């Protein structure tokens, strides 16, 4: 298999050199070319025919967003990974880039890090995304379950909480799903999106401004309420705990799971522990298999799991892993997820007070 050809675009000669050294050290990758600005990058694309572009956000002349816009007009399917600074401005522009069609993003190493640490961060965060997005996946998942679900469920069993897990492609997927929920959604929503600090807060604010639900970045002690959504903050696992008749959020900085913090598995296990069989989980687009073990726990507790289909996923890693393990109750295209969730939530009886914890009653 030929190596993946990468075009590296960054106005910093130091950053270009660092990226090129790391990428060139991987036999699966080839640095097809570099460019110090957007205009040169656009001129080089037809000359070198890259499989993927890494694109700096802040550049003189044609900046990253403008360059991305031109790339999407001319090469709509060409994967583009944005390289962002871990700042509020960088996070805000990155979310805008994702909305404009960027495939994914990475944060640049900080200036305070050693050369070895910077190279290690690029190797850990950027290289797997390049390999995945450029189509050289190490494994393919079947688009249908490998066996029938082992647990038969009542179509009218009550749902008391909705839990969502997603990663690569997730911000746009969430922007498609959450704004379509009605303001009177009778259950709370908890979400893990793999993102660093700052990014999750800005994502919550962005979704809140576009949704009928109130969307927040989760804080320890927040009490879950129907018609509201909480996104796990970057750098923290988010879990649920019963406090009297309420259910509240807790945050911790336990070790990452699946190389992630927040991790979907952590949230899903917690949701299953608190709500038992009254859980509906949704696993959407993302690299890796975070959420698989949590989905299995939810189903073993009697809950249900929906997944996004392969065709509408940016990367069918997380949902594909759930399907391949036979843990998906339903496979939905992205544009149908909201409607299917609302249908399923409304199919079961509602308790008089949806904030009451009734998970262990087996109602």
Among 267, 205, 192, 270, which Cα is nearest to 234's? 192
Among candidate residues 290, 301, 313, 338, the one labeled active-site is 290
Cα–Cα dist 16/3, whole Å: 19
Among candidate residues 103, 167, 270, 313, the one labeled active-site is 167
Which residue's entry shows tokens 């060139």? Answer: 24
In this structure, what are the phi and psi dihedrals at residue 113, rounded to the nearest 5 degrees?
-80, 150
61-66 contact pairs (CB < 8 A, 24+): 61/37, 62/37, 62/38, 63/38, 64/38, 64/93, 64/97, 65/93, 65/96, 65/97, 65/100, 66/38
Judge whether 158 and 348 are in contact, CB under 8 Å: yes
Give me the residues paired with residue 55 across strands.
Answer: 9, 82
For 15, 180, 243, 347, the CA distances from 177, given in Å and listed in that order, are 36, 6, 29, 19
Among candidate residues 56, 84, 160, 194, the one labeled active-site is 194
∠ Cα 37 42 43 (to 5°): 100
In this structure, what are the phi and psi dihedrals at residue 277, rounded to the nearest 5 degrees?
-80, 0
For 12, 168, 175, 201, 315, the CA distances from 69, given in Å and listed in that order, are 21, 20, 19, 25, 21
Judge whether 314 and 134 are in contact, CB under 8 Å: no
- Residue 163 has which token pair? 């839990």
In this structure, what are the phi and psi dihedrals at residue 211, rounded to the nearest 5 degrees?
-120, 155
Q: Residue 32 belongs to what H/E stretch?
A: strand 29-35
The DSSP bridge pattern shows strands 246-252 and 237-243 to be antiparallel
The reply to whether 167 belongs to the active site is yes
Q: Which residues are catalytic?
A: 167, 194, 290
């Amino acid at each position: 298999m030929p190596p993946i050809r990468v075009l590296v675009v960054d106005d910093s000669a130091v950053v270009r050199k660092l990226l090129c050294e790391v990428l060139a050290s991987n036999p699966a990758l080839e640095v097809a070319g570099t460019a110090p600005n957007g205009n040169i990058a656009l001129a080089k694309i037809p000359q070198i025919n890259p499989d993927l572009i890494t694109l700096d956000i802040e550049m003189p002349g044609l900046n990253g967003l403008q360059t991305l816009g031109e790339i999407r007009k001319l090469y709509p399917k060409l994967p583009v990974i944005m390289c962002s600074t871990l700042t509020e401005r960088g996070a805000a522009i990155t979310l805008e880039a994702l909305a404009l069609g960027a495939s994914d993003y990475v944060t640049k190493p900080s200036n305070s890090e050693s050369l070895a640490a910077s190279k290690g961060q690029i190797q850990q965060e950027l290289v797997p995304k390049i390999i995945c997005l450029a189509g050289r996946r190490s494994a393919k998942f079947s688009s249908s379950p490998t066996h029938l679900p082992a647990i038969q469920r009542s179509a009218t069993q009550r749902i008391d909480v909705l839990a969502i897990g997603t990663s690569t492609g997730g911000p746009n997927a969430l922007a498609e799903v959450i704004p379509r929920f009605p303001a009177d959604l009778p259950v709370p929503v908890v979400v893990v999106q793999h993102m660093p600090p700052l990014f999750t807060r800005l994502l919550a604010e962005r979704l809140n401004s576009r949704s009928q639900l109130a969307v927040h970045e989760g804080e320890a002690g927040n009490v879950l309420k129907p018609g509201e959504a909480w996104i796990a903050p970057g750098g923290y696992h988010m879990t649920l705990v019963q406090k009297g008749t309420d259910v509240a959020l807790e945050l911790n900085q336990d070790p990452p799971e699946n190389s992630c913090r927040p991790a979907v598995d952590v949230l899903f296990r917690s949701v299953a522990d608190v709500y038992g069989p009254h859980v509906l989980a949704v696993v959407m687009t993302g690299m890796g298999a975070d959420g698989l073990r949590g989905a299995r726990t939810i189903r073993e507790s009697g809950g249900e799991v929906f997944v996004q289909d392969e065709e509408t996923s940016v990367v069918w890693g997380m949902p594909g892993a759930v399907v391949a393990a036979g843990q998906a109750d339903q496979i939905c295209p992205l544009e149908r997820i909201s409607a299917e969730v609302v249908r399923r939530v409304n199919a079961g009886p509602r308790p008089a007070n949806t904030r009451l914890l009734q998970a262990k009653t087996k109602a």
